[in-house]
Amino acid sequence: MASPEHPEGTKAGGRNTHLNKGPRERHTLPMTRATYYKVSIWIPLALPLAVAAVATAGLLPTALYPVGQFLIGGLPYYGLPYLALAIWASFWIKNKDESDIVIMAFRAPILMAGIFTACAMAVGVIVGQPGVFAAMSLLGIIASLLAGYAYVCLVMLARPRV
């Protein structure tokens, strides 16, 4: 939609900023912003692995041990379920508008909680201990939501400005 200030319907810089575009009118994000979101998907796996490497090398400051233990300790529980979500999101994000990506980012912790619960319950049924794994899934839901929204806030606050 054209405006007097921007006759072609774009802001300065030539980027289309309309959120209500039809499927043929969609434009991808500038490369730096799109790449930022694609990389951000992997932060919940990359950060604990990086902390584990630093801790293994003996370089993690003592004051950060509790944070490091939290990040590394949860990896065996949420690692594979989150890997599935990250792979799906990496394919989903292609050719999406920023508004779609931001909406999905705020939905992702809820999706992760559901995926974690399904995985925990499946393991509980397989090993014949569904009650124990149901309790574990409750803790996983809480951790998924808390850690998930912490990551989302980190990503949204650190994203590049246009």
Q: Along the 162 residues of the chain, how does pLDDT read in single tens digits? A: 454 554 444 444 444 444 445 555 555 656 578 889 999 999 999 999 999 899 889 898 888 888 888 888 888 888 889 999 999 999 999 889 889 999 999 999 999 999 999 999 999 999 999 999 999 899 989 989 999 999 999 999 988 876
- Cβ atoms of 51 and 44 within 8 Å: the answer is no
How far is the C-alpha of 134 from the C-alpha of 132, rounded, in Å?
Answer: 5
* 127 domain-assigned: yes
Looking at residue 23, its pLDDT comes to 52
**Two tokens, residue 154:** 């980190």
How far is the C-alpha of 42 from the C-alpha of 40, rounded, in Å?
Answer: 5
Which pTM value belongs to this model? 0.72
**Total structural domains in the chain?**
1
- Cβ atoms of 65 and 72 within 8 Å: the answer is no
* 118 domain-assigned: yes
* 70 domain-assigned: yes
* 48 domain-assigned: yes
Q: What is the three-class DSSP state of 19?
A: coil
> How would you classify residue 9: left for phi > 0, otherwise alpha for psi between -120 and 50, otherwise beta?
left
* 1 domain-assigned: no
* 51 domain-assigned: yes
How far is the C-alpha of 3 from the C-alpha of 10, rounded, in Å?
Answer: 9
* 71 domain-assigned: yes
Looking at residue 35, its pLDDT comes to 86
Domain limits for position 83 = 31-158
Looking at residue 10, its pLDDT comes to 47
* 12 domain-assigned: no
Q: What is the three-class DSSP state of 2?
A: coil
